[in-house]
Chains A and B, each alone.
Chain A
Amino acid sequence: GQSLEQPSEVTAVEGAIVQINCTYQTSGFYGLSWYQQHDGGAPTFLSYNALDGLEETGRFSSFLSRSDSYGYLLLQELQMKDSASYFCAVRAGLTGGGNKLTFGTGTQLKVEL
């Protein structure tokens, strides 16, 4: 099976940088995805890492170390609209074909003035 750990809450001030960590245990690992979910909304895809290293998309970056079973999401120049829950998810194969994502329990990010 798969299990993921991430902090339940993180608080930061507007304009700052915040890092949300994710450690995982899984078999058949393909990669690590990150999703954002605002209160009452649906999850939306942010980034994906299949290989070690840093992927940058605007203010958001994501990092993966396969040897350490560890990744993080880095949010720079925080804005109030970044207040949301952030989920890491491991991608693995399915016995019935295709892939699936197993999600962590989420990190609630609060951005303060």
Chain B
Amino acid sequence: NAGVTQTPKFQVLKTGQSMTLQCAQDMNHNSMYWYRQDPGMGLRLIYYSASEGTTDKGEVPNGYNVSRLNKREFSLRLESAAPSQTSVYFCASTGSSGGAYEQYFGPGTRLTVT
């Protein structure tokens, strides 16, 4: 089991460019999440997908879109990158809608927007 995988690991974008962060899990989990982590701050929820076919906004959704492609995959898209989106992005998953207290995280994508 690979757990939760994310690609790419590192990315540098220029302001205005777009990109998609990929996330996949092989644990047959229902719920998936996208977080961003900035220095000295905790993880902030961008978007989540409680189950396949559903997505919804978290605390900081502006500037992002998501797609739950299937049960395994949940992607995050930046349509027009801004320097304020420089951050580390983590994808996570959890086994049941009632079990969100134990989330499994991917290794993260370190994104710099210049």
Q: In the complex, A83 Cα to B63 Cα: how many Å?
A: 35
| Number of chain B interface residues as a range | 20 to 34
Q: In the complex, A42 Cα to B30 Cα: how many Å?
A: 20
**Is A58's CB within 8 Å of the partner chain B?**
no
Q: In the complex, A31 Cα to B103 Cα: how many Å?
A: 14
In the complex, which of the residues A4, A8, A45, A50 contacts B103, with contact meaning CB atoms closer than 8 Å?
A45
Stretch at the interface among A11-19, A65-73, A74-82, A89-97: A89-97
**Is B56's CB within 8 Å of the partner chain A?**
yes
Knowing A43-B43, A103-B43, say if A94 contacts B50 (CB, 8 Å): yes
Residues in B with CB closer than 8 Å to A100 are 33, 45, 48, 58, 100
A-B contact number at CB 8 A: 80
What secondary structure prevails in chain B residues at the interface with A?
Answer: loop
A99 touches B97 (CB 8 A): yes
How many residues of chain A get a CB closer than 8 Å to chain B's CBs?
A: 28
B100 touches A99 (CB 8 A): yes
Q: In the complex, A4 Cα to B42 Cα: how many Å?
A: 10
Contact surface of A with B, Cβ cutoff 8 Å:
4, 8, 30-31, 33, 41-45, 48, 50, 87, 89, 91, 94-106
10 contacts between A and B (CB under 8 A): A87-B42, A95-B56, A96-B56, A97-B54, A99-B94, A100-B58, A101-B45, A102-B45, A105-B41, A106-B42
